[in-house]
Amino acid sequence: MTRQTLQEVKNTVEELAAKISAPKIFLPTYGRSEDFAQPHIELNNQAFHYVIVERGQELLRKSTTDFDCLLYWIFENITSEMSSEYEVRNRIQSRDGRRMMFAKQQELLGELSRSWRQKKSKEHEKILQASPYDDLTLLRATYCMELRTSGRPEDEITKLAFARYPDSRE
């Protein structure tokens, strides 16, 4: 059985968000959905619910009785948004953007909880095992667009792009 009220959840989230200067637009709503994939938090006597609704369709519902787990879900999303914006503002064309995003997200989570940082680090490692960094992805994609614009046939585009920017996955 949960002991916090929605107002107490909101207060805790806002306190933690202030520590990392999280934009208010990334914070969830409480007890109601704003739709448009904006996360919201529901609470009943049994559990906390982290819910995402888009265009009236519930896309995600995760439930827990663990307050720390709920906070992790909330800040995993907030820091993902923040690290994505950070990467766009500081993009390096010849580097896989996930390098910067993953590092920034772990840094932000680490400011809130060492265990959250460690958990996200393990999640990132698992992602990278399946899809390693490829530092030439953005350059390759940009070149593909140039080739398409110049009217090159689709069957040549991939060959030319990989010839110029070979697969650099680590």
- Using DSSP, state whether 57 is helix, strand or coil: strand
* Helix or strand (DSSP H, E) at 25: none
- What does the pLDDT look like over 19-62, one tens digit per residue? 999 999 999 999 999 888 999 999 997 899 999 999 999 999 99
- What is the pTM (predicted TM-score) of this model? 0.89
Q: Yes or no: say if 13 and 71 are a contact pair by the CB < 8 Å rule.
A: yes
Which of 101, 106, 76, 79 shows the shortest CA–CA distance to 90? 101
Name the helix (H) or strand (E) containing 169. none
- Judged by average pLDDT, the poorest of 23-37, 100-114, 115-129 is 23-37
For residue 95, the 8-state DSSP code is S
- The pLDDT, as a whole number, for residue 45 is 79
pLDDT over 70 at 170, yes or no:
no
Give the three-class secondary structure for 51: strand
**Do 133 and 99 form a contact (C-beta atoms < 8 A)?**
yes
